[in-house]
Amino acid sequence: MTTSRSPATSSSNSWLALGRLIKIVWVAWRFGLDRLILDAAGPLGRKHWSMRGLRVLSLLRIGGVKGASRGEGLRLALESLGPIFVKFGQVLSTRRDLLPTDIADELAHLQDRVPPFPSRIAVAEIERGLGKTIAQVYQEFDETPIASASIAQVHFAVLHDGREVAVKVLRPGMAPTIDRDIELLRTIGALVAKVSADGRRLRPLEVVDEFDKHLHDELDLIREAANANQLRRNHAKSSLLAVPEMYWDYCATNVITMQRMHGLRIADIPGLLQAGIDLKKLSRDGVEIFFTQVFQHGFFHADMHPGNILVGYQGELFNRYIALDFGIVGALSDFDKNYLAQNFLAFFNRDYRRVAQLHIDSGWVPRTTRVEELEGAVRACCEPFFDRPLKEISLGLVLMRLFQASRRFDVEIQPQLVLLQKTLLNIEGLGRELDPDLDLWVTAKPLLQRWMNQQIGPRALLDQIKQESVQWAQLLPQLPRLAHHALSRIAQGPTDNPASAHASDTALTSLLQKQQEQLSAMQRWIRVLVIIIGLLLGAELLRWLR
């Protein structure tokens, strides 16, 4: 939703964005991020005049952080710049195939070890939100946070009835910081869209708006608790994923109280192995959970970095995922789900013609695009990566090659799928950590085929018939009454007005004809339905006898 802004407001926001940009440059300079640029440039790149100038400026650095490694410098810089940049680092930390090990290890600290804010402030925020003192709400409250992230931090506590809980409290003063960063991103996005054709195709302003929406959603913890409840209902019968229960009597917009979940961090590989966790099964389960949420539920956890996932190590939660932090979720329409499923299946079957045709039919590329040319480009991008284990495949590199190939076809990135792409990258990173030999394609293909069969196969037909049966149930009982009413009107004979009687007879006759046509059509459908059900039952019986 767009809102109008006064010139004074726009000017003020522009100055704020400029000030923020200056701060970003200063922080990057202070923490030595220029070294990352020089390292990436390589020996030949450093001979360029701009790189030589950067090296001279590096020697003149004043007030910088001494002794910090390049990975630590990047982490500290992101922490200094606030929640948006911390989240950017969280996403990067899952891509160890694209980052040097030392940088990936440092960025992993951003997942749940961001410096906490003072406990006295946390206590004050909880009491303000719940309208009660800590002692009135909790029998015990640990003022030392167990985890601290970019938006909130978590404390353990015990309710007066003895239930162990985790209390999540929002960092105070987050909204103004996020608003300033969003304004900066909009400024950068507008500039990119103005000077670059590739930038316009990426729809940067729409992507920023989508990011803005989800970040502000995270500032309402009641919304997060509601997201958790939805995921908990969706996975109520699941043996793969557990979601904590929310205790609504102790929730507010800035604090939520939930069931405490006992588990090991998914990044603690030695601890998982010591507890007897089957890492290969865990990696396959993660893929199944993702595709189930996306295609069956159309509602998925969109912040699946390692800091938000535990693994149960005892009781009924043994070897199961435990999801935490539900501030960012994604939702897909039936059209999106169907389109994505067909694309995935076409990729898995190496049907590049189908992939190209789907892109054209969906409007992602102009209808004037030659399907043969797009098919060839997709084949060149994807064919080298098939029949390899996940450890030899980088989905990030595949996406990069697809992006490069798509330039000549004016492919438009769909903002509503940005979260899905981010989550898929997180799943790949997790799978790579747990089982480097996991084949993402082999694991996902049967799940997608099963979902497609549910959408277009015999089961889909039966489900649709069940939905239509509600209307049939309302119409069938009315037919005898309507027919009796019409026949009674005819039996009354002509009225004093012959023209009126003739018109009435004509209308009743027409009504009876329509009712008879509907009844005949319904009878035909019932006969077809009986035949279909008979064939299905016969097929099931034959399969059982075999």
Q: How far is Cα 166 from Cα 158, in angstroms, rounded to an integer?
A: 8
pLDDT at 5: 47
Q: Mean pLDDT: which of 30-39, 420-429, 473-482 is highest?
A: 420-429
Per residue in 168-199, pLDDT tens? Answer: 999 888 888 778 777 777 877 777 677 656 55
pLDDT at 157: 98
State the average pLDDT over residues 509-527. Answer: 62
- Please confirm, yes or no, whether 303 is among the known catalytic residues: yes
Q: Is the pLDDT of residue 159 over 80?
A: yes
List the domain boundaries for the chain: 31-110, 264-456, 458-545
Per residue in 205-238, pLDDT tens? Answer: 776 777 777 778 888 999 999 999 999 999 999 9
Q: How far is Cα 319 from Cα 300, in angstroms, rounded to an integer?
A: 21
Pick 490 or 26 by higher pLDDT.
26
3-state secondary structure of 347: helix
Pick 17 or 341 by higher pLDDT.
341
pLDDT at 291: 87
Q: Is the pLDDT of residue 201 over 80?
A: no
Q: Is the pLDDT of residue 108 over 60?
A: yes
Q: Of these residues, 112, 181, 212, 303, which one is catalytic?
A: 303
Q: How far is Cα 220 from Cα 240, in angstroms, rounded to an integer?
A: 28
What is the residue type of 25?
A: V
Query: Mean pLDDT of all residues in the chain?
Result: 76
pLDDT at 3: 44
State the average pLDDT over residues 150-167. Answer: 94
- Identify the H or E element spanning 321: strand 321-323
Query: How are beta strands 321-323 and 241-242 bridged, if at all?
Result: parallel
Per residue in 128-139, pLDDT tens? Answer: 999 999 999 999
pLDDT at 146: 92
pTM of the model: 0.69
Region of 319 (left: φ > 0; alpha: ψ -120 to 50; beta: rest) is left
Per residue in 1-20, pLDDT tens? Answer: 444 445 555 555 566 556 66
